[in-house]
Structure 1
Amino acid sequence: MSSTDPCPACSWTSERQRCCSYESRIKLFYEASDRGVWSLGSKLVLKDRGPNSFPTCEVQTTQFVQEKTSITVPTFVDSWEEDGHTLILMKRIPGEPLSSAWPKLSIAEKENIAQQTAENLLQLRDIHSDKIQGIGGRPVYSNFLFPNRKGYGFPHGPLATDDELWGEMEKSLHEDMSEAARIRLRSRMPPATPYTFTHGDLTNVNIMVHNGSLTGIIDWEHSGYYPVWWGVCLYLGSR
């Protein structure tokens, strides 16, 4: 890229930078596929989801969690559609991701955060549905439960029985697993009910902490009603 070529994210050029002492407080701090997340100073965060991202009801889902539980989640300022993009403006939860803080925490602080996170998640265990689905009867988007080499963006559900669930899960197994192994796996799959509200992507980057305490849980875009055992599988898979 030459000095006159604009940055595709912010349109700034190195030539303009040399001619100006301006230093932006707006920073791109996460990007994946055609999605980006910007910090707007220290108070706000802007999510920009491009037209190739899977559909999201993150605002509605997060507000649902806010209404049904005492879990601290992001507060939304505004959201809108523009040129095929979905833009979501929200207040920043204080602190830093647990992934960054972990090496600096004492044993007591780690145990405290673990206890607080468990207490938060227990609140979700009482929220049930008669189907595997997103909020408002929407499908769920989970490349973890339904692996797909093409990535995210494939809707699943609503699904009302274990056989329907297995039918969707099995689609991704044909290339990697023998028929005998698939039969054995199906016979050992535990019942999926009660379909339980689950974060869907609860890794240490989505747990916010400060001064040795939990400050909130972010990124609820993958959330929905999943098999009762799915939250445990996600935890074990992320270790």
Structure 2
Amino acid sequence: MATTVDLPYFATDLPCPLPTDSEINDAADIFPKYMGRRIFEVGQHYIIKFGKQVNLLEGENMFVSENTNILVPRVYALYSDSARGVNYIIMERIPGESLLSMWPQLSPSEKDFVPLPNSYGSLGCRPILDDGFWTEDPEPVINGPFPSENAFIEGMVQKYLHDGGPSYRAEFFRHYLPRVLGGHSPTFTHGDFQRKDIMIQRESADSGHADGLETPRLKLTLIDWEESGWYSTFSEYCYTLTSLRWDYDWCLCVEKALEPCIPQALWFRTVRSEMWS
């Protein structure tokens, strides 16, 4: 299937030369290795994600910045080492801390500032990468891309059956899920809107009040676009609610940032729990 950028991709305007193979091999991981993926930084400018389980589609998803005001790390290179079966994404290093680490320190007014970053499938009419639609071998009826919302919902049911769910429960889901989840159009969705994937920097505040009080200003950059794609409009809220840790008051901010889809989220969470129980 067609990619949305020509691969391999190398940006022409770089802050400094791209890391060499030896620099990449010698770099220290900044996150634990996970399922054939490594993430590390080289110098002051670059974050590199590479491995056999890294999908270059994540880098393509980050070009959403060309059509939105969402702050996204710049992509400097997307390429593969076919001999080793390894993919590389070289992206902009974003200074600051994650929203996960800074959340307890933020004032109520700063928390109010945190905004929602704004076909059913991945870019380029490709399969969805979310675990809820994943199979070891390609199965379009489960992985997509899906031509309609009904097919998208049926993909959830088929995944449930594929993972060993009993047929009578699958039939129950097939009967009721379209009633609850239906009637939504596709929209480009991040798919993993959690505090850990939001980098935050405090900027100099402006005095926006007559009493001279300063209005907090936070610069936010959304990272980790691996599972992004065209999902139903309820999906961002459902994925976010499903991943909530229910610590601190992030749950209250989610309700302000995202349009609540409570009935959809409850059913969505039920199906996901059944899959992974």
The TM-score with structure 2 as length reference comes to 0.63
- How far residue 213 of structure 1 moved from its aligned partner, in angstroms, is 1.4
Q: CA RMSD in A?
A: 2.6
Of 102, 125, 134 in structure 2, the residue corresponding to residue 137 of structure 1 is 125
Q: Unmatched 5+ residue regions in structure 1?
A: 1-9, 12-23, 122-130
Q: 1:164 to 1:206 in 2, by over 3 A?
A: same
Q: 1:70 to 1:183 in 2, by over 3 A?
A: closer
Q: Aligned equivalents of 1:195 and 1:60: distance in 2?
A: 19
Whether 1:38 and 2:43 are equivalent positions in the alignment is no
Q: Aligned equivalents of 1:33 and 1:47: distance in 2?
A: 12
State the partner residue of 2:50: 48
Structure ranking higher in helix proportion: 2
Classify the secondary structure of the residue corresponding to 1:88: strand
State the partner residue of 1:61: 61
- How far residue 184 of structure 1 moved from its aligned partner, in angstroms, is 5.2
- Alignment length (residue pairs): 198
Deviations 1:199-239 (A, max 9, x none): 11111111110226133111112111111111110121121
- Please identify runs of 4+ aligned residues in structure 1 that moved more than 4 A: 152-155
- How far residue 176 of structure 1 moved from its aligned partner, in angstroms, is 4.1
User: CA contact under 8 A between 1:38 and 1:46: conserved in structure 2?
Assistant: yes
State the partner residue of 1:108: 109
Q: Aligned equivalents of 2:46 and 2:54: distance in 1?
A: 23
User: CA contact under 8 A between 1:39 and 1:45: conserved in structure 2?
Assistant: yes
Identity %: 27
Q: What code does the residue aligned with 2:58 have?
A: E
Classify the secondary structure of the residue corresponding to 2:78: strand
State the partner residue of 1:209: 200
- How far residue 162 of structure 1 moved from its aligned partner, in angstroms, is 3.1
Q: Aligned equivalents of 1:196 and 1:228: distance in 2?
A: 6
- How far residue 167 of structure 1 moved from its aligned partner, in angstroms, is 2.5
Whether 1:168 and 2:170 are equivalent positions in the alignment is no
State the partner residue of 1:3: none
The TM-score with structure 1 as length reference comes to 0.73
Classify the secondary structure of the residue corresponding to 2:30: strand
Classify the secondary structure of the residue corresponding to 1:81: strand
Q: Aligned equivalents of 1:226 and 1:102: distance in 2?
A: 28
State the partner residue of 2:271: none
Q: Unmatched 5+ residue regions in structure 2?
A: 1-23, 203-216, 245-277
Whether 1:158 and 2:157 are equivalent positions in the alignment is no
